[in-house]
Amino acid sequence: MITTRLLLSLLVSLLTLAGCAQNPRQVGHSLTVCCPGDYGRYERFSVEAVELPHFLRDYMVEEFTRAFEEKGLVRDDRINDLKVTLRYHHVNLNPEQEDIDPFVRTEGMSVELSYIANVLVEMRETATDELVWAGRIHRIHHVSPGEYMHEDAARGEILMAFRDLLANYPALQD
- What are the pLDDT digits (tens) for 44-80? 999 999 988 888 899 899 999 999 999 999 999 999 9
pTM of structure: 0.76
- Which of 121, 94, 101 is CA-nearest to residue 27? 121
Rounded to 5, what percent of the chain is helix, strand, coil? Answer: 30, 30, 40
All structural domains of the chain, each given as residue ranges with its CATH number in brackets, are: 23-91+120-135+150-165 (3.30.160.670)
CA distance 121 to 13: 39
DSSP code for 19: H
* Lowest model confidence (mean pLDDT) among 16-30, 47-61, 131-145: 16-30
